[in-house]
Amino acid sequence: METRLRLLLVDAGLPEPIIGHAVIDSDGYFAGTPDLAYVDAKIAIEYEGTHHQEDAAVYADDIERRERMEAAGWLVIRVVKEHITHRRSWLIQRVRQALADRLPH
């Protein structure tokens, strides 16, 4: 699904996000590796499959990682299957607006 998400964004004319970028906080500590990232805008995009909600340990890790990335100044956009399959326009607009808000004009 992460690949489908990336291709959806690129097909919509958005820049191609980076895969596997390590987010480092201002103290030099590792904050997390989002599924997709717009590094210059400090936007992390996280796909959350059903196992993220069904496994308590995974869910707890997700919350902690998200908070570490946000504390490092990153915006975390959470995406679920429904966004990719049935709410594409909303998702694309959400990412487009986040890029517009966070990148210099």
Instruction: Give the pLDDT score at 52.
Output: 65
- Give the span between the Cα atoms of 41 and 70, in whole angstroms: 13
Q: What's the average model confidence in pLDDT over 65-85?
A: 97
Tokens 């959470």, residue located: 78
Best CA proximity match to 9, nearest among 94, 100, 92, 98:
92
The model's pTM: 0.93
User: What structural domains and CATH numbers belong to the chain?
Assistant: 2-102 (3.40.960.10)
The vertex-34 CA angle with 30 and 36, nearest 5°, equals 140
Q: Is pLDDT above 90 for 51?
A: no
Average pLDDT for 24-36: 96
pLDDT cut 90: percent of the chain above it:
88
